Copies of this chain bind each other. A is one copy, B any other.
Amino acid sequence: MKLASLKGGRDGRLVVVSRDLAWYADAAHIAPTLQAAIDDWAVMRPRLESLAEELEHEAIPRERFHEHDAAAPLPRAYQWADGSAYVNHVELVRRARGAELPDSFWTDPLMYQGGSDGFLGPRDPIPLGDPAWGCDMEAEIVVVTDDVPQGVTPEQALDHIILIGLTNDISLRNLIPGELGKGFGFVQSKPASALSPVFVTPDELGTAWRGGKLHRTLKVDYNDRPFGRAEAGEEMTFDMGMLVAHLAKTRSPGAGTIIGSGTVSNRDPDNSPGRPVAEGGKGYSCIAEQRMVETIASGSPATEFMAYGDTVRIWMDGDDGKPIFGTIEQEVVPLQTSAMGGA
């Protein structure tokens, strides 16, 4: 089952979307919003699945689904916690800012609490107050949980994952060193993230979803050129169950909690940091990695962070070669021309 929220109001309007993302059926008579459905998931899931089944069989009224009409599936959520499961990325980014990688990072997941009060829609522009902040994309997998009891094991946690999607976890790289230096984590350096047009139930992913990892290629184009083709199921040190359990150690994450994988990242087969796609590598899911690899090769980064007008596209194809979650496609714009400014 694939679910989306059409733009409208603070929480959008829940719709069920066909597997090929061509059609939708209104689900408001079942639950007005995705959060409302998640709040009563055991009851709502079978009802929504019946609707999805009817939609696939063209047995009910349907409308064309346009991704640009979609808000984030959860336009606002009660929790967003982002892990760093691909430790290769963590190591590169830390090297890029001159910080060491402690050995414990390979056994104890890194995670930060992010702002969840407003997620950008998949085609919303990225409103940037100042290009000097160093705007970067971060392509990631996200999962949504139901109510998670405090103290669950990683194995138990997998059963609490009810939806899966993608995010562009936008980062302001030049604000990060100062903010992390203060010791309290990210606040200003992590503005609103964008979510994929649809979230899907785990069964929709078939055998590609196993062991809390999504074994498919996460595709990133930057300014219309292939930039990242990383394998999301490989070199993921911590699976999603481990990340959920990490968050639940001392509290009970509420229904609708969104948890991120961190930037998907692969090394090259010879264990060196990955090469760009243009050089036959798997590329990068954020600019910071490319800059680090450039620094290793030539002493300084050549690729700039995102400027006004730069675009990023993030998606993941299924076996049919079509995007499973739809496509996140965003352009960086000045703050005042964005719809977010006076929201």
Contacts and interface: CB of A to CB of B under 8 A. Distances in A.
A43 to B, nearest CB: 14
Interface string A164-176: 0000000010010
A102 B343 CA distance: 35
B129 A249 contact: yes
A254 B113 contact: no
A182 interface: yes
Interface stretch (A63-71, A144-152, A153-161, A203-211): A144-152
B111 A79 contact: no
A191 interface: yes
Contacts of A99: 183
Contacts of A41: none
A149 to B, nearest CB: 5
Contact of A189 (B116, B183, B188, B250): B250
A89 interface: no
Interface in A245-276: 246-247, 249-257
Interface stretch (A230-238, A289-297, A334-342): A334-342
Contact of A182 (B110, B113, B186, B335): B110
B187 A117 contact: no
A106 interface: no
B191 A251 contact: yes
Contacts of A184: 84, 110-112, 180, 185-186
Contacts of A255: 10
Interface centre among A116, A151, A251 (most CB of B within 10 A): A251
A127 B150 contact: yes
Copies in the complex: 2
A185 B183 CA distance: 6
Given A182-B105, A247-B187, A340-B150, A76 B76 contact: no
A102 B78 CA distance: 33
Contacts of A151: 129, 335
A262 to B, nearest CB: 10
Contact of A116 (B78, B112, B250): B78
A23 interface: no
Nearest to A113: B113
Nearest to A184: B112
A151 B183 CA distance: 23
Given A115-B79, A182-B105, A250 B150 contact: no
Contact of A113 (B180, B183, B187, B256): B187
A12 interface: no
A252 B340 contact: yes
26 contacts: A10-B254, A76-B254, A78-B78, A79-B116, A79-B117, A81-B115, A102-B181, A105-B182, A112-B185, A113-B113, A113-B115, A113-B185, A115-B251, A117-B253, A129-B150, A129-B250, A133-B250, A149-B341, A150-B341, A180-B184, A183-B185, A187-B246, A188-B246, A188-B250, A191-B251, A252-B340
Given A102-B181, A112-B113, 7 more contacts: A79-B117, A81-B187, A108-B182, A110-B183, A115-B253, A117-B256, A191-B251
